[in-house]
Amino acid sequence: MTKETVIHVKNLTKKFDDFKAVDSISFEVKKGEIFGFLGANGAGKTTSMKMLIGISKPTTGLATVAGFDVYKNTEDIKKNIGYMSQNFALYNDLTIKENITFFGGIYGLSRKEIKEKTALLIEELNLQKVSKKLVGSLPLGWKQKLSFSVALLHNPAIIFLDEPTGGVDPITRRQFWEMIYKTANQGTTIFVTTHYMDEAEYCDRVSIMVKGKIEALDTPKNLKNKFNAETMNEVFIKLARE
Amino acid sequence: MKIIGYIVQKEFKQIFRNKEMLPIIFIMPIIQLIILSNAATFEILNIKFSYVDNDKTSFSRSLIDTFDASTYFNVQNEYPSNKIASAAMLKGEVDVILEIPQHFERSLIKEQQTDLAVIINAINGAAAGVENGYINQIIKNFNTNARAKFMNQNASIERPKTIEASPSFWFNKTLNYKTFMIPGILVLLVTMITLFLSGMNIVREKEIGTLEQINVTPIKKHQFIVGKLLPFWILGLALLSIGLVIAKLLFNIPIIGNLGLMYFYTSIYILVVLGIGLFISNFTETQQQAMFISWFFTVIFILMSGLFTPIESMPRWAQYINEFNPIRYFVEVMRMVMLKGSSLADITSHIVKTIIFAIVMNVLAVISYKKVT
Amino acid sequence: MKRFRGFIKKEFFHIYRDKRSLFILFGMPIVQIMLFGFAITNEINNVNIAILDHSKDATTQEIITKIEASNYFSIQESIPNEAAIENSFKKGIIKAVLIFENDFSKKLGKDNNATVQIIADATDPNTANTISNYINAILKNYQHELNKAVKIPYQIIPKTRMVFNPELKGVFMFVPGVMTIILMLVSAMMTSISITREKELGTMEVLLVSPLKPILVIVGKVVPYIFLSIINATIIILLSIFVFKMPLQGSLFLLALESVLFIITSLSLGILISTIANSQQTAMMISLMALMLPTILLSGFIFPITSMPTILQVISNVIPAKWFIIILKGIMLKGVGISFVWKETIILIGMTLFFIALSVKKYKIRLE
């Protein structure tokens, strides 16, 4: 059963003056996949993602996200995707409820929908006691989960996560990935960047970026076989050495 | 439309929740208004005055008395000699010294004229000029009285022709500087607060990363910008209202003109300022930069706006620049409408020019705001 | 020591790389000096006035010609009657109307007396007053010419000597003022923002935990701005001396020392602000509203302190800028030495110590 392709990238490049931050990358992501976009810090992951979510114009190459072109139809792309940025960008001086209301409203949810979603979210994340508290006062793990949920408010087809587990303890990380699984099972495509190689094991397929290029693209199992490694960490180290 | 509402709602929540900034936005301007209005004056008062009386007659004594009677001068103790008086001026103890020569009265009567030495601390050139004016006026009056007295005793002198100048001051009979300054200060406060807050606001979202988050939503540029600026537009008008109330209640400044006209013009003016703030924030990365650049231009435009010193006195290049200075128009409109009761017809050119600025600035601001880099 | 040097280097890089702010830091004093030197003045020039001439005879014509000939006035229009005056003012173009009464020449010949009414728009009382004075002077001049044959008896002739600034140049007032404002701006505001920025970004904690002693962190943050301020002060002084011919009567060395003292006073104020403010925005607004504006208004820079209500005069004593301006004027214009400005110097030193002590106390409270 072939699933449709929701992200299509061909020879995508981003240059800053002479520096090629992203050097002619190509790949495809199918609907419902959990696609891991790995690489060391500075390899070009975030830059690539910014092009796909429509806030950075590529230098050359082609890409479509949810069927829309990244050059011409960025606003349509944005209607169909969710985004969770590296620093869980929520407003620290607004309460949980207020943040949800704001982002829900921006995405065009009706007042009724916002109310329902808010109740649902607070229940799911067990935030009843702190729903009126300012987000700035929440521990990092809660902010992370909240940020993820807010990104899903408008039921996007694809959600982009930029280093979503930075600075969070292992147990919270685990819980977070459970949330990701649940969302993927419901049909949402997950595009996640990370520099934690162990998280690669959780993905359906991963690509590894080194110095702007994609040096590996396959399922974790196949990559470990190919590079004769026990863990993805080993795979990465072997790749980086070449 | 609804989306704009969500943004406005969030902005207001954030503004009123910011306990540090709230007093600065509302209380500080009020304090500034009160202090500024009382401090800002070019009147010269309490001039430190002293004298060296080498004549020591009742005549010279009466000359000193006329200075004493004047509200402008604070007559201090006499200095025994010119040298000591000069040293005192060096120390800053006195700013005007009158040196009455020996045989003052005698020379006046015998030779029909005599000199009177006046020494003025001229570091503040403008003030020195004004002080000189006062001194000359006092001496002249004294002279006229003395002449009348002497002439009565000697009636054979010809009468000179005199042209009287009779001054009359309209709109501000008492030459109250506050009346002049307060409309200007209102302009200053509304401008500064709306400019700085709006400019820094957007840059702050850039700095903390929420701007990126917003750029990924399908929100349209104009929705975001309107939503961001609307709260500050309202804030600006609120500040104007508070200012007007204080001006009337505390300082009893005449508010002769049409209030509606004032609000109408201010609404347009604030759009210009917000456009500038937005424009600046599109080109800066940090709040500090945004603040700095705003401060830089604000100071220049305020100094040149005619708020403190008249525009006609400025050189041609400055007057040319002032054609494009929005603050200049606001200052003029406020003074004209508030103090003289000028009508819509009188300020039509101001309104038209300000509307043009508003359109230009905001178009520039919207164009330069990039959701995609 | 090496760490400290490294820290200072980082601060310098920060500042150096922020070209926009740098441009304004140095451009601002230059622009302000230019503005004050060439544009800002209370003198009147080309003021628009109107004439209402009921007589229209030879004498009034002569007087009007004299007025026109002066650079101060520009005659814009002729007003037909008294009723039209108010509207003319409302339009906002003319600032005064001169009214010559009926039969001007005749009255002057027969009664030896004639009146000119000066109706001035006093929304700007300063200009109105000045206009009135200048017209008065022109009329007196004309009167003097009429009376040339007559010798005025019992004439007291005031001989005025303007000292320290014989040409009444405005530069003498504003250079000390601009210098003070700029130094205060750079030192206090920039320092408070720089320290608060680290607080906001969270890097302050990192610095505090580093082996660098907290006092050295603060000093390190502050050192680059000392340099910037010194450069600024130098630029301002050079500009005023060479472009505006401002004299430097006193000792350059003393001037330099006092400037450094004031810079340190401003810096300590900046540090104090940074202990109060938790965000850059707050630091900036406090610097602006609570520091800059009162400094400009109450330091005697633009408005004379002696003309203010007593309570403001008292408050002005708390403003460091006020004392520094006195010192500056003394050294540059009067050429006095330390013996004349020691009182002000001690006050500045006292203020500095006070601000530092207060900052240290607040800082310690925070750390606990």
Q: Which residues of B touch C39 (CB under 8 A)?
A: 303-304, 314-315, 318
- C254 and C204 in one domain? yes
B1 touches A: beta carbon within 8 Å: no
**Residue range of the domain that includes C107:** 47-146
C92 and C189 fall within a common domain: no
Cα of B311 to nearest chain A Cα, Å: 45
Please state, in angstroms and rounded to a whole number, the distance separating the CA atoms of residues B369 and B194. 19
Residues of A in contact with B10 (CB under 8 A): 91, 94, 98, 102
Q: Helix C214-242 to helix C171-184 angle, to the nearest 10 degrees?
A: 160
Q: Say which CATH topology domain A5-241 has.
A: Rossmann fold (3.40.50)
Q: How many domains does chain C have?
A: 2
What is the average per-residue pLDDT within B161-190?
A: 87
Place of tokens 């004229």: B113
User: Structural domain boundaries of chain B?
Assistant: 2-40+174-368, 47-152
pLDDT at residue number B64: 93
Same domain membership, residue C60 and residue C15: no
CB contact under 8 A, B210 and A90: yes
pLDDT tens string A20-45:
899 999 999 999 999 999 888 788 88
CA distance, residue C301 to nearest chain B CA (Å): 10
Q: What is the dihedral of CA C168, C174, C175, C179, to 10 degrees?
A: 170
pLDDT at C233 over 90: no
Q: What is the enclosing helix (H) or strand (E) of A25? A: strand A19-30
| Residue B52 pLDDT > 90 | yes
In this prediction, residue B360 carries a pLDDT of 96
Say if C308 falls within a structural domain. Answer: yes
Average pLDDT, chain B: 88
Looking at the domain assignment, is residue C99 inside a domain? yes
| Nearest Cα to Cα of residue B250 among B320, B186, B168, B328 | B186
pLDDT tens digits for range C311-358? 888 888 988 999 999 898 888 888 888 888 888 999 999 999 998 888
- pLDDT-above-70 percentage for chain C: 98
How confident is the model over A98-149, as pLDDT tens digits? Answer: 999 999 999 989 999 999 999 999 998 888 888 888 998 888 888 999 999 9
The confidence score (pLDDT) of residue B289 equals 82
**Two structure tokens written together for C249:** 């009567």
Tell me the whole-structure pTM to 2 decimals: 0.83
Average pLDDT of chain C is 84
Q: Are residues C17 and C55 in the same domain?
A: no
CATH of the domain at C129: 3.40.1710.10
C-beta atoms surrounding B373 within 10 Å? 8
Which residue type, as a one-letter code, is found at position C40? I
Q: Which fold has domain B47-152?
A: abc type-2 transporter like fold (3.40.1710)
Residues C88 and C237 in one domain: no
Read off the tokens for A56: 């950075």
Whether the Cβ atoms of residue B38 and residue B100 lie closer than 8 Å to each other: no
What is the amino acid identity at position B222? H
A220-234, B322-336, C288-302: which has the minimum mean pLDDT? C288-302
Is B293 in contact with B284 (CB distance < 8 Å)? yes
Q: What DSSP string describes B302-340? A: HHHTTSSS-GGGS-HHHHHHHTT-HHHHHHHHHHIIIII
- What phi and psi values does residue B368 have, to the nearest 5 degrees? -80, -5
> A touches B (3+ CB pairs < 8 Å)?
yes
In this prediction, residues B191-198 reach a mean pLDDT of: 89
Looking at residue A204, its pLDDT comes to 93
CA distance C36 to C28: 12
pLDDT at B155 > cutoff 70: no
Compute the distance between CA of residue C322 and CA of residue C301 in angstroms, rounded to an integer: 8
Q: pLDDT by residue (tens digit) across C169-223?
A: 777 777 888 888 888 877 888 888 888 888 877 777 777 777 767 677 778 878 8
Does residue C7 contact residue B280 with C-beta atoms inside 8 Å?
no
What pLDDT was estimated at residue B268? 95
> Which residues, in sequence order, are CB contacts of A90 under 8 Å at separation 6+?
A99, A135, A143, A146, A147, A150, B210
**CA-to-CA distance for C272 and C361, rounded, in angstroms?**
10
Enumerate the β-bridge partners of residue A8.
A28, A64
Chains C and A contact (Cβ–Cβ under 8 Å for 3 or more pairs)? no
pLDDT of residue B156: 56
C221 and C130 housed in the same domain: no
CB-closest option in B3, B209, B372 to A106: B3
Residues C183 and C246 in one domain: yes
Average pLDDT of the residues in A196-212: 89
| Average pLDDT of the residues in B58-83 | 92
3-state secondary structure of A68: strand
Who's near C132: CB < 8 A, 6+ residues apart? Answer: B165, B167, C96, C118, C120
Does A1 score more than 60 pLDDT?
A: no
pLDDT at B209: 84
- What's chain C's length in residues? 368
pLDDT at B158: 62
Residue A56 one-letter amino acid: S
The pLDDT of residue B240: 94
pLDDT band at C365 (very low <50, low <70, confident <90, very high): low
Residue B216 forms contact with A (CB below 8 Å): yes
* Average pLDDT rounded to a whole number, residues A52-81: 92
Q: In chain C, positions 237-266, which contact chain B (CB-CB < 8 Å)?
A: none
- Cβ contacts of residue A181 below 8 Å, gap of 6+? A34, A202
Q: Are residues C239 and C300 in the same domain?
A: yes
Whether residues C129 and C234 fall in one domain: no
Question: ipTM value of the model?
Answer: 0.85
